[in-house]
């Protein structure tokens, strides 16, 4: 879906080779992949149902109010998409770039650095999509069981939406990593990711903030992702969704462009 | 066309292929015996190698008849590479002809690697002219790389993959199908004698094995031009000889080799023609034999003195006493090198003059003498 959007499949055939390379690596260590599937589920059960049992309904701001689990589940999906994309494009990408010297070998083939950047984003999305499907499946099952977790068929669109969130963060993550010099620099990245995870309307509505701060939070990418996915799973779409989508796609695409350029500077000297 | 991958490699797969295990076993002892002769035959071999290849045979054609075939694979004029204010390559000119084994010889920091990286299209040319396969590296990088095999100075193997997977995915990067990539990978592992290690991880391999694997990897796209940056640095003698042998076979099959080295024996073994680089410039050019003839004498007489035996001789004195004995005399801390056409005669004369060295060695002069003559003995780093 996303692949079709970026460019015709023919142009994606070379980036797909990066995905194939990564699949070869993970072929023997699939447990590492599977472990990522549980994290958002654990959050859902502890926060959504655990903490949620202490909290009453939460207002969505448009007149509807939902149970806390219903409120927090889409945010967890968006956060998982962000974390998956960031993890893959920060530490893993940095290792391949600086230590494994993977791309130093690839630049001697017909592959271009744009192919490399696109390939790593594709891989991050592929990995993220496994988690998204798993998480959505659990939500759907619980929804059928009467928890109201997925009250609208629109909820199925949460899957492509989580891919869009992943794309935005993967592109930005790659771009950020090309500026990293040593492992410790990733602490700064965490300094951006952690507050976003906690304060972007993930665990409570942003009405809690003073208006100026609300505007600031609304400008952060994770807020856009949470807003997008929550509107779909709760069946309350509004025109602002378009802004969410454009914002995240632009972030990913600009990130990719920066990455290609930076890789050229780093590798082609 | 020379070096057209299809024709070239198709022959390698025929039933008469010397690669094939059964025949290789039979051929190996013969080849060993041939080795010493190879050097003497060099001029002839070169002529053959630059000829046209059709099927399994190569026909030498008159250069003038087929000018288009003589178009150089690599053409450089005034090629320059600067890093900030530092000039790594300073306006060098050279051509590499199809089928040739061409070497860049020089001390560390002479600009060899920078030159190789520019040819490999992974380093932009600062100024000057460079074409590879007649194409411009800045515009047609991907097309050039598709026909190029690269063995970089540092092994850039994929440590997260096995030996076989390294080749498989690398073939994929060149657009091969999985099955074709697998077929070639197996053939190449056989070629570099790594078949038994196919499923091992790369990390525990020895330096020589890794180097062989990098060479195998560089051949997965059946390149017509192979760039090797210090292919045998850090390897033990066995590993070096195995690599030389493989490179020699590639050359025989018409693959053009372009390599850098600071090993003189390597340059003499492998290169038809070479340039000596020093401080970003080319300081000499020719075949190994031509360079030896031009820059040094036929033989070198090495006289080694123990300090204690010559306490009365201060170094300058020693040099003076050899004056006129050879074309050129070079004095080192504990040795004197006399460059002369006839080492034995010079040795006898030295004896007449009352010199009593601890040991005397007469040897043929080598590329090493050329190299040291041209680039000096002091470390340039």
Same domain, B228 and B357: no
Output A118 or B37, whichever has higher pLDDT. A118
> Distance of alpha carbon A45 from its chain centroid, rounded?
20
Distance from the Cα of B74 to chain A's closest Cα (Å) equals 17
Same domain, B32 and B130: no
Interface of B with A (CB under 8 A): 83, 120, 122-124, 142-143, 145-146, 148, 150, 152, 154, 156-161, 165, 168-170, 172-175, 217, 221
Q: Which domain holds residue B134?
A: 74-285
| A266/A179 Cα distance (integer angstroms) | 10
Mean pLDDT within B266-274 = 90
Continuous segment of H or E residues that includes residue B325:
none
What pTM value is reported for the model? 0.80
C-beta atoms of A100 and B160 within 8 A: yes
In a domain? residue B290 = no
For the ranges B105-109, B164-168, B238-242, the one whose mean pLDDT is highest: B164-168
In a domain? residue B117 = yes
Same domain, B217 and B263: yes
In a domain? residue B370 = no
Q: Which domain holds residue A50?
A: 2-267
Same domain, B185 and B329: no
Q: Please give the tally of structural domains in chain B.
A: 3
> Distance of alpha carbon B223 from its chain centroid, rounded?
17
Checking if the pLDDT of A3 tops 60, the result is no
pLDDT tens digit string along B143-176? 999 999 999 998 899 999 999 999 999 999 999 9
Query: Chain B contact for A261, CB < 8 A?
Result: no
Which pLDDT does position B80 carry in this prediction?
96
| B138/B317 Cα distance (integer angstroms) | 58
| B257/B259 Cα distance (integer angstroms) | 6
Same domain, B264 and B326: no
The encoded tokens of residue A96 equal 């391949």
Q: Kindly state the DSSP code that residue A206 receives in the 8-state scheme.
A: G
Checking if the pLDDT of B14 tops 60, the result is no
Same domain, B144 and B81: yes
Q: Please give the tally of structural domains in chain A.
A: 1
- Burial group, residue B203, by CB count within 10 angstroms (0-12, 13-18, 19+): exposed
Other CB atoms within 10 Å distance of the CB of residue A185 = 14
In a domain? residue B373 = no
A102 → chain B, closest CA residue: B158
What ipTM score was computed for the predicted complex, to two decimals?
0.87
Which pLDDT does position B314 carry in this prediction?
55
Output B113 or A40, whichever has higher pLDDT. B113
List the single best residue of A26, A28, A108, A113 to mutate versus B (max B Cβ within 10 A): A108
Q: What is the mean pLDDT of chain A?
A: 89
Same domain, B11 and B113: no
CATH number of residue B337's parent domain: 3.30.70.980
C-beta atoms of A106 and B142 within 8 A: no
| A128/A196 Cα distance (integer angstroms) | 19
Same domain, B239 and B218: yes
Same domain, B37 and B141: no
Side-chain-side CA neighbours of B165 within 13 Å: the count stands at: 19
For the ranges A211-215, B152-156, B232-236, the one whose mean pLDDT is highest: A211-215
Same domain, B88 and B42: no
Cβ within 8 Å of residue A40, ≥6 positions away: A76, A77, A79, A80, A131, A135
In a domain? residue B379 = no
Which pLDDT does position A11 carry in this prediction?
66
| B297/B26 Cα distance (integer angstroms) | 41
Distance from the Cα of A169 to chain B's closest Cα (Å) equals 25
Mean pLDDT within A74-94 = 92
- Classified as helix, coil or strand, A38 is helix
Output B351 or B251, whichever has higher pLDDT. B251
Q: How confident is the model at residue B378 (pLDDT cuts 50, 70, 90)?
A: low
| B288/B269 Cα distance (integer angstroms) | 9
């Amino acid at each position: 879906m996303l692949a079709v959007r970026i460019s015709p499949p023919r142009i994606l055939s070379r980036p797909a080779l990066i995905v194939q390379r990564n699949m070869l690596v993970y072929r023997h260590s699939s447990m590492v992949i599977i472990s990522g599937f549980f994290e958002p589920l654990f959050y859902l059960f502890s926060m959504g149902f655990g903490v949620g049992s202490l909290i009453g309904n939460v207002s969505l701001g448009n007149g509807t109010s939902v149970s806390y689990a219903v409120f927090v589940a889409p945010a967890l999906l968006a956060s998982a998409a962000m974390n998956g994309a960031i993890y893959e494009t920060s530490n893993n990408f940095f290792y391949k770039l600086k230590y494994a010297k993977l791309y130093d070998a690839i630049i001697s083939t017909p592959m271009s650095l744009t192919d490399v950047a696109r390939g790593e984003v594709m891989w991050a999305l592929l990995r993220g999509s496994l988690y998204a499907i798993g998480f959505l499946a659990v939500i759907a099952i619980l929804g059928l069981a009467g928890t109201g977790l997925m009250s609208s068929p629109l909820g199925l669109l949460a899957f492509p939406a989580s891919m869009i969130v992943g794309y935005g963060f993967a592109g930005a993550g790659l771009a950020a990593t090309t500026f990293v010099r040593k492992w410790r620099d990733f602490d700064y990245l965490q300094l951006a990711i952690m507050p976003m995870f906690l304060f972007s309307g993930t665990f409570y509505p942003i009405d809690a903030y003073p208006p100026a701060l609300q505007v600031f939070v609304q400008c952060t990418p994770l807020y856009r992702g949470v807003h997008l996915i929550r509107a779909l799973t709760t069946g309350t779409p509004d025109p602002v969704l378009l802004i969410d989508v454009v914002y995240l796609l632009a972030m990913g695409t600009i990130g990719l462009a920066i990455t290609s350029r930076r890789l050229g500077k780093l590798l082609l000297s | 066309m020379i070096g057209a991958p299809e024709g070239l490699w198709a022959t390698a797969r025929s039933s008469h292929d010397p690669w094939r295990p059964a025949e290789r076993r039979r051929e190996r002892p013969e080849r060993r015996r041939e080795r010493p002769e190879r050097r003497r035959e060099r001029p002839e071999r070169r002529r053959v190698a630059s000829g046209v290849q059709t099927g399994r045979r190569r026909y030498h054609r008159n250069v003038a008849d087929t000018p288009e075939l003589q178009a150089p694979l690599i053409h450089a004029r005034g090629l320059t590479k600067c890093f900030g204010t530092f000039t790594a390559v300073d306006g060098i000119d050279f051509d590499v002809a199809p089928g040739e084994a061409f070497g860049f010889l020089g001390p560390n920091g002479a600009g060899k690697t920078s030159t190789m990286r520019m040819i490999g299209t992974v380093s932009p040319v600062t100024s000057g002219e460079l074409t590879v396969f007649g194409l411009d590296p800045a515009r047609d990088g991907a097309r050039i790389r598709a026909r190029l095999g690269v063995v970089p100075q540092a092994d850039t193997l994929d440590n997260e993959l096995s030996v076989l997977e390294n080749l498989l995915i690398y073939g994929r990067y060149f657009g091969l199908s999985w099955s074709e990539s697998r077929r070639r990978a197996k053939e190449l592992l056989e070629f570099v004698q790594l078949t038994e290690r196919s499923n091992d991880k790369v990390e525990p391999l020895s330096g020589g094995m890794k180097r062989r694997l990098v060479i195998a990897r560089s051949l997965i796209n059946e390149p017509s031009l192979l760039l090797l940056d210090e292919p045998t640095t850090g390897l033990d003698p066995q590993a070096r000889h195995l690599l030389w042998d493989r490179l020699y076979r590639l050359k025989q099959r018409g693959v053009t080799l372009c390599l850098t080295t600071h090993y003189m024996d390597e340059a003499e073994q492998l290169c038809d023609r070479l340039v000596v680089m020093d401080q970003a410039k080319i300081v000499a050019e020719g075949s190994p034999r031509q360079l030896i003839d031009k820059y040094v004498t036929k033989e070198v007489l090495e006289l080694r003195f123990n300090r204690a035996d010559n306490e009365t001789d201060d170094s300058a004195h020693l040099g003076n006493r050899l004056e006129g004995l050879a074309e050129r005399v070079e004095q080192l801390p504990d040795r004197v090198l006399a460059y002369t056409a006839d080492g034995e005669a010079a040795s006898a004369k030295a004896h007449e003059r009352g010199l009593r060295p601890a040991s005397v060695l007469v040897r043929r002069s080598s590329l090493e003498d050329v190299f040291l003559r041209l680039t000096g003995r002091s470390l340039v780093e």
